[in-house]
Structure 1
Amino acid sequence: MNAQAGTPTTFDVQRVRADFPLLARTVHGKPLVYFDNANTSQKPRQVIEAVDRHYREHNANVSRAVHLLGEEATAAYEGARDALARFIHAPSRNELVLTSGTTQAANLVAYSFVLPRLRPGDAILTTTMEHHANIVPWQIVAARAGATVKAAPITPGGELVVEKFVELLTPEVKLACVGHVSNVLGTVNPVRELAKECRRRGIPLFVDGSQAMPHRPVDVQALGCDFYALTGHKMLAPTGTGALWARKEHLDAMPPFFGGGEMIREVKFSGTSFAEPPHRFEAGTPNIAGFAGVAAAIDYVESLGFEAIRAHERALLDHATARLREIPGLRIFGEAQEKEPVISFLVEGAQATDLATLLDLEGVAVRSGHHCAHPLMQFYGVPATLRASLAFYNTHEEVDAFVAALLKVRRLLR
């Protein structure tokens, strides 16, 4: 591997799998097939060791400590900010607020940016395919202000109807929101095109990047959006980590959302002055060890290179889709022309939860349920689906084992 160039000449999936300790375990006496990566990714030993090393050698709180451990902890935490800023091509590290994940990032934008600007009759635009984290925060602040949330439609194949999205960008819309990649359908939305249309109308665009970050390079400057949120635990990093990138002019104009330590300049009973962004939005003790893991996760992804990751995942998706289509009575939801390795489906005559439970007994981990996307389930007229979500450390052999297990458990439910 050429870590500097980030583009290996070959992708040795077995060598990669050796870096992920959990992939070697068995479940119910069967080799684990982990196809729940859209929910959370597994962690390479490099990330695990980075977290362990922090607690063994550098554990202290960040900022203001003059002792060595405090300086080391601060360097690790701020180093993760630098790594993330570079990873998403942010113009400045000071435009990156470290959060617990996309949900916190969305709520920060909802309460600190959107709510002060909303008036009765205003609107927030999202889409039918969104995760609840890109719906519910907007609904809460809209209800407070007497505003509404409206959703752009999608096609039966799971693609955003772009012309309808643009048509809904009316003057009362104060924020538009879209997922870069759907967590249920795998659909890749045309963020750059949407951002261009939003800019023409002076409407800020918030992008939920949780499902994009594990699979594709992200350049927030090239995308042209105003806000981009990401979640660490879906991209090999520890849980409780994430970030919000926002344009400097937005952060400068936003009041704090959380109050407490670290986000202040000076506190008096007569009033408090606040720190400059991004620290203005980072009250309290953060997940320092987790962000040490974030930096290690970015290093790991860059050592493999997205070119190799994407080629392997595309082959996996094509193979899995072809194999699933061989099963009579199986319906796939979401067949967009451009999609990431996520397949949601149902099998005629079987409940999603029953299938997932029986698959687990065969060692196969998939997700069943509404996937935090009730409106999308309502659009398709189903209460739930099964979801197999793949990652670069999965194999064609695992796909075949999954399909064999699915055929077996399907027979049991007849």
Structure 2
Amino acid sequence: MNSRSKQNEALPPDIAVDQNGDLATRIHPEPPHPYRSAFARDGARILHARAFRRLAGKTQVFSRLARNLPGDHSRSRLTHTLEVAQISRTLAAALGLNRELAEALALAHDIGHPPFGHAGEKALDTALRQHGLGFDHNLHALRIVTWFEERYPAWRGLNLTLAVREGIVKHSRDYSSATHPELAPYFLDLRPPLEAQMIDLADEIAYLTADFDDGLDSGILTVQGVCQHVPLFRRFYDEVTAQYPHALSKQAIYETLNRMLNALVTDLIEEVRNRVAAIGATTLDDIRRAPNRIAALSPAMEAERAAAKSYLYTHFYNSPGMEEEHERAAQVVQGLFAALMADPTLLPADHQSQIPSEGLARTVADYIAGMTDSYIEQLWLRHCQS
């Protein structure tokens, strides 16, 4: 078999999630659509959800409200999600997996994030810990698609398929039935399908390359510094500058990052094929019962990815200017949380109605988690700075 045909080799077909199998069922039965699969409909429902639209106003790395925002080109949580969806479609197509399911999961993977990115999530979790609770954006995403979205007169939520709901919960981590009995319908003792496992790696690849792009574009990172400390970047940057010695600096950076992304995706595809072959998997059940998750980079590429991510944490995410943004995010999130806890009448009526069943702290967290950066800033100024 030549290298080109090897690159196009799909996994055994029974590994992919069946468009018409049990995982395509919904909590509320619906008749089949005349020309769209159940998973295509799920992707459309997520795309049209209000929570999805709000991702445009939520931080990826730079807050939309940053006083020194380097321009209009840095990623939002929405543009990041679209990049993950593109990578996920590519991965699924190359491996013969269910592309429509992979795309739906990619579109939903960050829908539960609160404002101000990971800094906002950490601040909200810290606030909830004082009330014996915690915040997990995967579980909040499940709440969004099963309850908070109100688009249909027959039921609450989006009535997504079991496969998409399971993938929302399990794409990036495993949960124990002992600590999360409410998640029992999602096969906690089994691995998620490969379509879901791939989302976590597509997410990693998307934000790794994109964050170098945004970091370099902002001036927080320098090409010299990245080349010195990130071998994965330097290898391709040296190739590009040798091939295109007269290219503009930004063109050389873009081409370097394109090659980085392609190398990561190619490695992931090849490693998944190798791991499937190593355990002799031919069905979805084989994937579910594998001793470890199948979706992973090769050990050599994983080491390079980890080194690149470590550099981003030290020199970008936790750089002095970004630390100021994180501190402000914590101040705004925790300040508004305290204000709403002290006076629940500040909550909208539909959230106040949730207090008897969900408790005040969870209700306040649900309200804050749905906000965009600009909206939470407005409420914080109104209720905490007056």
Normalising by structure 1, report the TM-score: 0.28
- Structure with higher strand content: 1
Normalising by structure 2, report the TM-score: 0.30
- Structure with higher helix content: 2
